Chain A
Amino acid sequence: MYEFLKTLDRRWVFLLMFLAVATPILLKVTFPEKPSAMVMDVFQAIEGLPEGSKVLMAWDFDPASRGELEPMASAFTRHCAEKKLKMYYMALWPLAVPMIQDSIRILEREYPHLEYGRDYMNLGYKPGNEGVIKVVITNIRKLYTTDHYGTGVETIPMMSGVTSVQAMDLIINVSAGDPGTKQWVQYVATPFNKRMVAGATGVQAPQLYPYIPAQLVGILGAIKAAAEYEQAVIDGYPHLAKIATAKEGLRRMGPQLVGHVLVVLLVILANVIYFIGRRRGDTR
């Protein structure tokens, strides 16, 4: 047994991982979540805004990170819609546009009383990475002369009086890399003292902690925080509990638990093998 494990082919590890993730998906295992303090900070940042406040929804992720970030983007959208905030969507990634459209589809289906151009709008994608941020923070119309659908921003009611991102009461950024939260912090939240919350992938989250609380109000880190935030929104607005897609993050926590436990077991197993080997004087 020891010999087999010591020289274990990594394909067996791959197979275990596949089973660990696939089984809970097929069995639809879910767990209850209790929002942590950080998630509640994010929740409160939105909950505390009065009706009609302007919120920039900066979606900077692509389909590759959809698994982790879409639950956050959807929950942010639903929360802002429940609070009747004015939502301005924009993207720095070319492939983030379909992600915005997913969010807007939620608004169209579940909040038909909200009106495009009055309650929410899609500014769309502009190339230029952080250059775009540096321009829109001082002058949004220099780059965004039209919205995503080619309508002049002058004719959109909710753009009246919005000359720059500084007019926003809160910035919500959901991002999977660069340009993303770090750049929004560097060029907007830090120099212009704008309140900002962010949804980040698990990889990015640890790097964003140093910016809390001065430069960022809070972050949602990875799918776990997404699930907790979904729970927080459902707690605040219980009628959402009936909507299946409002619990996407909660659903994904099943595979998470089994996957995490597998990784933990693998680490333990590897160390057991290592220590047995060391005791046997096996130097390999």
Chain B
Amino acid sequence: MRMARLRSVAIAAACWLSAIDVVAQDTAPPPELPAPPTDVEVKDRPSDNGQAVLISWMASADDAPEGSPRVLEYWIFRRELGQAEWGEKILDSPAGTTTKTDDQKIKVGTQYEYRIVAVGVNEGVSEPAELLGGVASIRQWFNVQKAWFGILLVLICGAVIYFIEAARGGKDLKVRKIAGLEAVDEAVGRATELGRSVLFINGIQDINDIQTIAGLTVLGNVARRAAEYDATLEVPTSRSLVMTTARETVQAAYLSAGRPDAYNENNIYYLTDEQFGFVASVTGRMVREKYAACFYMGAFYAESLILAETGNSIGAIQVAGTAMPSQLPFFVAACDYTLIGEEFFAASAYLSGEPHQMGSLKGQDFGKVVGAVLLLLGCGAATLASMANNNEAIANFAAYIRDSILGSKGLFP
């Protein structure tokens, strides 16, 4: 990393003014000039593709609310090493806040020189502070700030993969029961008894949302049950890509249940991408068709309560699963069973019927253990540091957990 530091270089004010194209009028008295900024520092912005340098300086002595003449802003100029002219200002920064900024309009590897002036009332420009000798940005190939994040990621993803492989290898993974999953069978069964249809809504997000994909897995399972019980399954979607994918999933489920003949493509249809247009149509259908069971599995927004309350008014069994925290209260209040956040993803593994999918749940648990350990260690150290009147060693340990392991200070701060 290159760094250079230079004193401010005084240049005759008159020649300076003409250089940046500010013409003082003959009639007005020349403005009083503020004191210049000092200590210009320019260095490469770390962990980037070399597209920027960080510029910082010490504020002008007049940069204070009671300063006279008041400094309004700083102007920054740049030239390539070896050029004579400074040209137009490239950046400006208001006075009184920060005395740093970054220049992002540079070519990687090129050497630049910088000049900063304080600007007062009537564009009175101070003497400049300069950084001469050249600074260049550097392209880094690995973002060292993220090293710890990478380690955590490898650990947790590694655990998921390890447990999936272990389950494939025949290891029996014990996973607790998830309340609400039995309700899936029960609901489909009841629809068959009543001779009414089942409604499945796969959220209102597009196919590239992970919740939509988790919902599709649940849909596959519901469809298999519906095929076995010979119940009609209806899937309105608000995205055409979800419609095409849901058709494949449901068709495959009917096939695996041995009832390919019962599959009807027209029961999986697109309405409109517009959120409330979609809801208006679905609630209308709910009241008319009087579904016996309603499933809401995926990403939901404000429509959650409209759907759940309408479903309730027609007396349907309702099972919901979503990872949208803001909608969980309504599903919890209005549905018979709700899969809360992480449980929803767990359910999609649970219902897939493939034991090795359960490995992912164990991997998630490992992640929670890692999180809880870091949390307890960090809180413990922070508390001790506070009790021991900021004992340096303990405070450093707490800071390392917070700012390096969980922050962006890298392995060796």
Contacts and interface: CB of A to CB of B under 8 A. Distances in A.
Interface of A: 10, 49-54, 64, 138-139, 160-161, 163-164, 166-167, 169, 177, 191, 203-204, 206-207
Given A10-B313, A139-B104, A167-B101, A50 B94 contact: yes
A54 B104 CA distance: 17
A191 B149 CA distance: 13
21 contacts: A10-B313, A50-B94, A50-B95, A51-B72, A52-B94, A53-B94, A64-B276, A138-B104, A139-B51, A139-B104, A160-B92, A161-B90, A166-B104, A167-B91, A167-B101, A177-B301, A191-B408, A203-B326, A203-B327, A206-B325, A207-B326
A53 B98 CA distance: 10
B389 interface: no
Contact of A169 (B91, B97, B105): B97
Given A51-B94, A64-B276, A138-B51, A207 B105 contact: no
A52 B94 CA distance: 6
Nearest to A178: B301
Contacts of B91: 161, 167
A206 B92 CA distance: 38
Given A64-B276, A160-B92, A161-B92, A204 B326 contact: yes
A139 B97 CA distance: 23
Nearest to B408: A191
Nearest to A139: B104
Interface of B: 51, 72-73, 76, 89-92, 94-98, 101-102, 104-105, 276, 301-302, 313, 325-327, 408
A52 B72 contact: yes
Contacts of B327: 203
Contacts of B76: 161
Contacts of B95: 50
A191 B105 CA distance: 21
Contacts of A49: 97
Interface centre among B92, B105, B325, B326 (most CB of A within 10 A): B326
Top 4 closest A-B pairs, CB basis?
Answer: A50-B96, A161-B91, A163-B104, A52-B94
Given A10-B313, A50-B95, A166 B102 contact: yes
Given A139-B104, A163-B105, A166-B102, A203 B302 contact: yes
A169 B93 CA distance: 9
Given A203-B326, A207-B326, A53 B97 contact: yes
Given A50-B96, A177-B301, A207 B325 contact: yes
Contacts of A160: 89, 92
A79 B76 CA distance: 29
Contacts of B408: 191
Contacts of B94: 50-54, 169
A79 B69 CA distance: 27
B105 to A, nearest CB: 6
Given A160-B92, A163-B105, A169-B98, 5 more contacts: A52-B72, A53-B97, A138-B51, A167-B101, A169-B97
A164 B326 contact: no
Nearest to A54: B94
A246 B402 CA distance: 43
B91, B97, B98, B101: most-surrounded residue (chain A CB, <10 A)? B97
Contacts of A167: 91, 101
A161 B89 CA distance: 8
A166 B100 CA distance: 11
Nearest to A167: B101
A20 B280 CA distance: 24
Contacts of B302: 203
Nearest to B275: A64
A50 to B, nearest CB: 4
Contacts of A177: 301
A39 B73 CA distance: 29
A10 B105 CA distance: 63
A1 to B, nearest CB: 23
Contacts of A53: 94, 97
B160 to A, nearest CB: 22
B324 to A, nearest CB: 9
Contacts of B89: 160-161
A236 to B, nearest CB: 17
A53 B91 CA distance: 13
Contacts of A52: 72-73, 94
